[in-house]
Amino acid sequence: MTQLEELQVSIRSLPIEDFSKLRDWFLELENEIWDQKISDDFKAGKFNKLIEKARAEFSQGKAREL
C-alpha cells in the first residue's frame, strides 16, 4: 500500500470532529500554498504584462476604478 493509500484509509477512519479539523487545516494549507505561489509569481514578474495592459486600458478610459 502506498503512503497516499495509507493516508486515505486513516482519514476515512477519523471521527467526524477530527475529520472536520483536518479538513479545515488542509484548506488553510492549500490557501497558504496558493498565496505563496502568487507571491513568487509576482516577484518573478509574471504579472507585469497584465499590469501594464490594465494600466494602459485605465489611462485610455477603457476601465474604471472599483
The answer to whether residue 43 scores a pLDDT higher than 90 is: yes
pLDDT value of position 9:
97
pLDDT value of position 63:
81
CA distance 13 to 52: 51
CA distance 59 to 7: 53
Q: Cβ neighbours of residue 1 under 8 Å, at least 6 residues apart?
A: 9
| pTM of the entire predicted model | 0.69
Residue tagged 479545515 (cell numbers): 24
The answer to whether residue 64 scores a pLDDT higher than 80 is: no
Domain extent listing, the chain: 15-59
